Structure 1
């Protein structure tokens, strides 16, 4: 093969469009049932456990009691939501 032909073929390989591949994450595991212990205080709200992605796998984050920052706020548990542009995303627990 001539040097020009080799360089031309190499140029084609470099210029070839890359095949885009969507990232893959395994399906979200089913929720775990966990017992809710009695609250250790009056201003506490139960934050349920949830699955969290740790780069290679999902790990279970157990539930816990958290303090309510103000009496008028409502706790919204963390949840998975579908986003057409990003797939399933975790919406962390928050107060509103």
Structure 2
């Protein structure tokens, strides 16, 4: 086989292989923390930990929620990611740590939220 023919066959195969390596991961709709009181923490969480995503469960409504750090009294604890089925009309408000104007760190814990009739977010 000549070189040109080999390249002509390999390039489409390489593109196909790359495309098949990146399946769409179903993730939740995300939204804000609204009207919640944060927990004041003394220092920010460490960098996120890498995770191996297990096979998707049979429930077709399941979405992957990434792992995140949670504040537990005096230290950060890693909460592993998991497949979860959202409540109808809900969204995921991811954990977030922000520096407030007075210099303190405010931590909002991740979790599911729903919108009430006025459009405000609430915990289910």
- TM bucket normalised to smaller: 0.5 to 0.7
C-alpha distance after superposition, 1:20-40 (max 9, x if no partner): xxx761331111111111211
In structure 1, the gaps of 5 or more residues are 1-22
2:96 equivalent in structure 1: 80
Number of residue pairs aligned between Structure 1 and Structure 2? 72
In structure 2, the gaps of 5 or more residues are 1-39, 115-124
TM-score by length of 1: 0.58
Return the alpha-carbon distance in structure 2 between the equivalents of residues 44 and 34 of structure 1.
18
* Pair member with larger Rg: 1
2:110 equivalent in structure 1: 92
Return the alpha-carbon distance in structure 2 between the equivalents of residues 26 and 64 of structure 1.
26
1:55 equivalent in structure 2: 73
Q: Would the alpha carbon gap of residues 63 and 39 (structure 1) be closer, same or farther in structure 2, given more than 3 Å must change?
A: same
Cα shift at 1:87: 2.2
> Quick one: higher RCO (CA 8 Å, sep 6+), 1 or 2?
2
1:31 corresponds to 2:48: yes
TM-score by length of 2: 0.47
Return the alpha-carbon distance in structure 2 between the equivalents of residues 91 and 56 of structure 1.
15
Return the alpha-carbon distance in structure 2 between the equivalents of residues 24 and 75 of structure 1.
25
